[in-house]
Amino acid sequence: PVRVLLPPASRVPPRRADHRPDVALHRRAQGSLARGIEDCQDRRVGAVVVTYQPDLARLRCVLQSAGAQVDDLVVVDNASSNSREVAAVVGELEGAGFEQLTANRGIAAALNAGVSRLVAGGCSWLLTLDQDTILRAGAVQEVLGELDRMPDGLRRSTAVVGMSRGLPPPRGRRRRWVERALVVAEHGPFTERLTVITSGNLVRAQVFGSVRYDEDLFVDHVDTCFCADVRRTGLRVLEYRRPTMDHRLGATVRLRRGRRVYEPAERIYYLTRNGLVLLLRGDLPVRVYLRDVLGLSSVYVEVHGLGSVRSCAGVVARGMWDGFRRRLGPRPVLVPTTGRARP
């Protein structure tokens, strides 16, 4: 089994006072990872599922699909109001663990809690999932099997492998322009990327000896920050292009220009704030930041009507101000009741 000493839960990769990363500080505090990690002869895969107010029927499917493919599974609940029902669903799966946080501390804190538990149990690969992601049968074995067939240097230098829904390439010149900013290289069935979404990630346990999920971000762009910190140690982030999971990106609404992802004002605030922090660190391309903020804001206004323009602009402005000042963690977002209610 892999033995990894985890940093204390309160610590994140060291950064300067201005919150920008510093490679020298990182190496002095944690030591540097070589460009390659030895494979474990006894491969053991553990899964951590983070929940908050989940749909119980969907969660049951998530746990059944993951439980059939991993050796250990733990569910970390972020103080949901239906936590007793969540615990009951987890109890239906033999050998699954359940941990409830006393308050909603965000996705990063929940992931860190689950990771600590699984690494202590000797897992060599960790699968991170949210409450909506259902794996296809044999997905874990397929992804790791394809990675084993990659050249030795590429395989050993890969720390994170993200699954995907197997979507076709983005259509439209602007979407392709944004996507190009996130792609580093192509490697057979894998794409090397700057970042992959947290749900459906297979992460080598050794990585958590020097990198953790940043709890200051609370919810959005936790995956972007984690992948940037992993890449800073000299390791790679890959995405498996073939469809291996059914993942919901969030609520969608039907507009005149088709179905679009809808996020409430609170999520727009966190995306704006955390995205700006990462943009100033050099970990998020400008075009990706603008796509997220402008795209979600336009959907919000189209759903709530022109009367919501002022309130949405206020949320974005506050997110940018707090991001520029590095005022992180969970923060209340006051949204005026201007415009139509969400249908």
Domains of the chain in start order, with CATH, are 23-246 (3.90.550.10), 252-324 (no CATH)
Neighbour-count burial of 100, counting CB atoms closer than 10 A to its CB (0-12 exposed, 13-18 middle, 19+ buried) = middle
Better-scored residue on pLDDT, 95 or 160: 160
**Rounded Cα distance, 38 and 40, in Å:** 6
Alpha-carbon dihedral 284, 321, 101, 9, rounded to 10 degrees: 60
Closest to 121 in 3D by CA, of 45, 66, 62, 50: 45
Closest to 221 in 3D by CA, of 293, 161, 167, 160: 293
- Name the pairing type of β-strands 125-130 and 45-51: parallel
- What percent of the chain stands above pLDDT 90? 65
pLDDT at 248: 75
Task: Compute the mean pLDDT over every residue in the chain, rounded to the nearest whole number.
Answer: 85
Say whether pLDDT at 61 is over 90: yes
- Find the mean pLDDT for residues 111-124: 93
- Find the mean pLDDT for residues 294-313: 89
pLDDT at 241: 93
Identify the residue whose tokens are 């985890």. 6
pLDDT at 343: 46
pLDDT at 67: 94
SS (H, E, C) the chain: CCCCCCCCCCCCCCECCCCCECHHHHHHHHCCCCCCCCCCCCCCEEEEEEECCCCHHHHHHHHHHHHCCCCEEEEEECCCCCHHHHHHHHHCCCCCEEEECCCCCCHHHHHHHHHHHHHHCCCCEEEEEECCCEECCCHHHHHHHHHHCCCHHHHHCEEEEEEECCCCCCCCHHHHHHHHCCEEEEECCEEEECCCCCCCEEEEHHHHHCCCCCHHHCCCCHHHHHHHHHHHCCCEEEEEEEECEECCCCCEEEECCEEEECCCHHHHHHHHHHHHHHHHHCCCCHHHHHHHHHHHHHHHHHHHCHHHHHHHHHHHHHHHHHHHCCCCCCCCCCCCCCCCCCC
Say whether pLDDT at 7 is over 50: no
- Find the mean pLDDT for residues 276-286: 95
Determine if residue 171 is left, alpha or beta; phi over 0 gives left, psi from -120 to 50 gives alpha, anything else beta: beta
Better-scored residue on pLDDT, 98 or 17: 98
pLDDT digits (tens, 9 = 90+) for 158-201: 999 999 987 777 778 888 999 999 999 999 999 999 999 999 99
pLDDT at 255: 72
Say whether pLDDT at 94 is over 50: yes
Dig out the tokens for 148 from the structure. Answer: 């084993």
Phi, psi of 234 (to 5 degrees): 100, 10
